[in-house]
Amino acid sequence: MLPVFGIDVGRMTRDLAALFRISSVINSIRDLDLLQRELLQLIFEVIPAERGAIVLRPYGNDDRVSVCTWSRPHEDQHPISVQQDLVRRALWERTPILSSPDLNNPDSNNRESVLCHPLVGVEKTIGVIYLASSEVPSPFRDDHVHFVSVASRIAAVTLENILALNSLSGDQPRLKEAPHAASKLVGVSRQIEQLQRFISRVSQSDSTILIRGESGTGKELVARAIHNKSPRMDRPFVAINCAAIPEALLESELFGHERGAFTGAVGVKMGRLEAAQDGTLFLDEIGELAPLLQAKLLRVLQQREFERLGGNRSIAFKARVVAATNKNLEVAIKSGEFRQDLYYRLNVVSVTVPPLRERPEDISLLALYFAEIHAAKNKRPFKGISQEARAILLRYSWPGNVRELESAIEHAIVLGLTEEILPEDLPDAILEEQALVLAKDARYHDALKRTKKDLVLSAIRDAKGNYREAARLLSIHPKYLHRLVRNLDLKSHLQEVE
């Protein structure tokens, strides 16, 4: 093959032929799985990968991650283990990610070279093309990245259209799940995986569940997820915030009332207990329930029946109860604020929803998830989150947890002037904390540098300018002492010592 003007004509011809075949394939195949396999095979004609996958994010009402894999014929058929951190980076940054194996770290799971490229559609980033090889050094070059970049742009729009059509023309079960989209837990952290397993285990039972966690962590989301995976999913899910309704009105809200039960009761009202029927009753902020209502709720849980206010007819209570609190109920019991017997009735099965600061690996997915939701809601174009804004989001402490993150992203989408979320689009509270963190870091590094200078100068003074002796006093190698003197710019100070 003869290079012309620095271009390998043979390779260029091969790449163009492969791109033409990809264009032909996407116009002739409408089956999603078949199209993905054909795309991978055509990509493998150019890219020296051994194994590959197309990973598609959840789309529409389908909350499943789709992974289509392919390996070269005659290769050892190793199972394809997709490195989720690389997938998240490609989705988050919307740029290709090249990763080399970490052979120096025996504990590392990274044992292969990876090229991971995002599939950026018209409306959203729908997934990634993931290519892997065991070769060392990495066989992936810049021209391979360029080819995959072009191929991904050709394929992404067609894949997005097929996903959209499948979502719109989906069968009744998928349409049935549409109202439950808000109960989807977003995250890949170990804590979220444990929470998903807990939900799967308890959803089939009728046991009362107590969900603990800080405000804004998504306790109601967990309650809805339990309901939507349970045999009661077609029945009502009724939620009531025990802290948001005044005590005088809460009893009527819970139990309902008969006509004339009190001044202003001009008709019969069905309470939340009755409205839940045989579905799920979610009692949020249960720790704020007044003592009188605690006693009445305990009787409902024990007897599985209740009466409306002003009534004398018992009504059967058939709903499953899920309660939530951000309060330490054990402490509340000791102080007499919460009944111990009610606590035992509620705490049959318990789970704690972790705060966002304990699962930072979920911040990127949650930010993208909320950005796409609010961009569509506000009819705003959204192409990504800038590197500077990402760094700020990852460093922030999130005292308001997931609720605060969603609010921050919505703020950025509504007020942003570009298709990308920039630092200046984020709320002032986040930017102010970021400024404080940077200032503290600067002060810390300045103090550390001054301390190093003082130690080195003191040791050289004590050694009367003898570097070897000064290094011994500092318990470091003389060469490292020379490097410190150079890096800390101490030569002018040493002239004074001499």
Count of domains observed in the chain: 4
Of 73, 1, 88, which Cα lies nearest the Cα of 41? Answer: 73
The rounded distance, in Å, linking the Cα atoms of 299 and 276 is 17
Q: Where does the pLDDT of residue 75 fall: very low under 50, low under 70, confident under 90, or very high at 90 and above? A: low
The rounded distance, in Å, linking the Cα atoms of 77 and 70 is 10
Flag whether 174 is in a domain.
no
Minimum mean pLDDT among 34-43, 55-64, 80-89, 232-241: which range?
A: 55-64
- The confidence score (pLDDT) of residue 239 equals 94
What phi, psi does 384 have (nearest 5°)? Answer: 150, -175
Quote the mean pLDDT of the chain: 84
The rounded distance, in Å, linking the Cα atoms of 193 and 191 is 5
Tell whether 15 and 112 lie within a shared domain.
Answer: yes
The rounded distance, in Å, linking the Cα atoms of 471 and 422 is 48
CB atoms within 10 A of CB 420: 17
> By percentage, how much of the chain surpasses pLDDT 70?
86
Tell me what the mean pLDDT of segment 480-494 comes to.
74
* Whole-angstrom Cα Rg for the chain: 31
Asked if residue 110 has pLDDT above 90, the reply is: no
Flag whether 237 is in a domain.
yes
Flag whether 26 is in a domain.
yes
Angle (CA) 182-184-186 rounded to 5° is: 120
In the sheet that holds 280-284, the strands lie side by side as: 237-241, 280-284, 320-325, 209-212, 349-352
Of 96, 82, 89, which Cα lies nearest the Cα of 132? Answer: 82
**First-residue to last-residue Cα distance in the chain:** 67
Flag whether 125 is in a domain.
yes
Strand 320-325 with 280-284, pairing: parallel
Tell whether 96 and 187 lie within a shared domain.
Answer: no
Flag whether 175 is in a domain.
no
Instruction: Please indicate whether residue 187 or residue 108 has the higher confidence score (pLDDT).
Output: 187
CB-based burial label for 269 (10 Å; 0-12, 13-18, 19+)? middle
Asked if residue 216 has pLDDT above 70, the reply is: yes
CA distances to 32, 62, 168 from 171, rounded to whole Å, are 16, 11, 9
Highest-scoring range by mean pLDDT, 168-172, 205-209, 439-443: 205-209
Q: Where does the pLDDT of residue 123 fall: very low under 50, low under 70, confident under 90, or very high at 90 and above? A: confident
- The confidence score (pLDDT) of residue 353 equals 96
Of 456, 446, 449, 447, which Cα lies nearest the Cα of 493? Answer: 456
Q: Where does the pLDDT of residue 180 fall: very low under 50, low under 70, confident under 90, or very high at 90 and above? A: very low
Tell whether 216 and 92 lie within a shared domain.
Answer: no
Tell whether 454 and 323 lie within a shared domain.
Answer: no
**Local structure of 51: helix, strand or coil:** strand
Minimum mean pLDDT among 7-21, 112-126, 441-455: which range?
A: 441-455
- The confidence score (pLDDT) of residue 323 equals 97
Tell whether 337 and 377 lie within a shared domain.
Answer: no
User: What would the DSSP string read from start to end of 102-126?
Assistant: -TT-TT----SEEEEEEEE-SSSEE
Tell whether 140 and 271 lie within a shared domain.
Answer: no
Q: What tens digit of pLDDT does each residue of 430-484 get?
A: 888 776 665 655 566 666 777 778 888 888 888 888 888 888 888 777 776 777 7
The rounded distance, in Å, linking the Cα atoms of 210 and 208 is 7
Tell me what the mean pLDDT of segment 414-434 comes to.
87
Flag whether 222 is in a domain.
yes
Minimum mean pLDDT among 287-301, 342-356, 379-393, 397-411: which range?
A: 379-393
Which of 106, 140, 168 is a domain's end point? Answer: 168
Highest-scoring range by mean pLDDT, 87-101, 124-138, 226-240, 419-433: 226-240
The one-letter code for the residue type at 459 is A
Token pair of 132 as six digits: 């892997």
CA distances to 51, 246, 290, 298 from 310, rounded to whole Å, are 71, 19, 20, 19
Spatial contact of 110 and 102, defined as CB atoms under 8 Å apart: yes
The rounded distance, in Å, linking the Cα atoms of 150 and 142 is 13
- Kindly report the CATH number assigned to the domain that includes residue 59: 3.30.450.40
Instruction: Please indicate whether residue 161 or residue 240 has the higher confidence score (pLDDT).
Output: 240
Which of 307, 332, 354 is a domain's end point? Answer: 354
For residue 165, give the H/E element and its range: helix 142-168
What phi, psi does 202 have (nearest 5°)? Answer: -90, -15
In 81-236, DSSP assigns E strands to 97-99, 113-120, 125-133, 209-212
Flag whether 101 is in a domain.
yes
- The confidence score (pLDDT) of residue 105 equals 59
The rounded distance, in Å, linking the Cα atoms of 360 and 189 is 8
Q: What tens digit of pLDDT does each residue of 51-69 get?
A: 999 999 876 655 567 788 8
Asked if residue 297 has pLDDT above 70, the reply is: yes
Spatial contact of 453 and 484, defined as CB atoms under 8 Å apart: no
For residue 151, give the H/E element and its range: helix 142-168
The one-letter code for the residue type at 178 is A
Which of 112, 144, 168 is a domain's end point? Answer: 168
**Local structure of 381: helix, strand or coil:** coil
- Kindly report the CATH number assigned to the domain that includes residue 370: 1.10.8.60
Tell whether 440 and 314 lie within a shared domain.
Answer: no
Q: What tens digit of pLDDT does each residue of 337-362 get?
A: 999 999 999 999 999 999 999 999 89
The rounded distance, in Å, linking the Cα atoms of 336 and 342 is 12
- Kindly report the CATH number assigned to the domain that includes residue 448: 1.10.10
Scored b (16 or more CB within 10 A) or e, 47-62 reads bbbbbbbbbbbbbbbb
- The confidence score (pLDDT) of residue 349 equals 96
Minimum mean pLDDT among 228-237, 251-260, 452-461: which range?
A: 452-461
- The confidence score (pLDDT) of residue 230 equals 94
Token pair of 382 as six digits: 């959204």
Flag whether 173 is in a domain.
no
Asked if residue 171 has pLDDT above 70, the reply is: no
48: preceding bond cis by omega (within 30 degrees): no
- Kindly report the CATH number assigned to the domain that includes residue 266: 3.40.50.300
Domain hosting 410: range is 357-426
Asked if residue 79 has pLDDT above 70, the reply is: no
Asked if residue 324 has pLDDT above 90, the reply is: yes
- The confidence score (pLDDT) of residue 242 equals 93
Tell whether 31 and 120 lie within a shared domain.
Answer: yes
Tell me what the mean pLDDT of segment 355-374 comes to.
90
Tell whether 24 and 147 lie within a shared domain.
Answer: yes
Q: Where does the pLDDT of residue 269 fall: very low under 50, low under 70, confident under 90, or very high at 90 and above? A: confident
- The confidence score (pLDDT) of residue 182 equals 45
The rounded distance, in Å, linking the Cα atoms of 106 and 418 is 44
Token pair of 215 as six digits: 């405000």
Tell whether 150 and 227 lie within a shared domain.
Answer: no
The rounded distance, in Å, linking the Cα atoms of 437 and 433 is 6
**Local structure of 175: helix, strand or coil:** helix
Tell whether 288 and 411 lie within a shared domain.
Answer: no
Asked if residue 176 has pLDDT above 60, the reply is: no
Tell whether 227 and 333 lie within a shared domain.
Answer: yes
CA distances to 178, 209, 229, 236 from 183, rounded to whole Å, are 10, 17, 10, 14
**Local structure of 3: helix, strand or coil:** strand
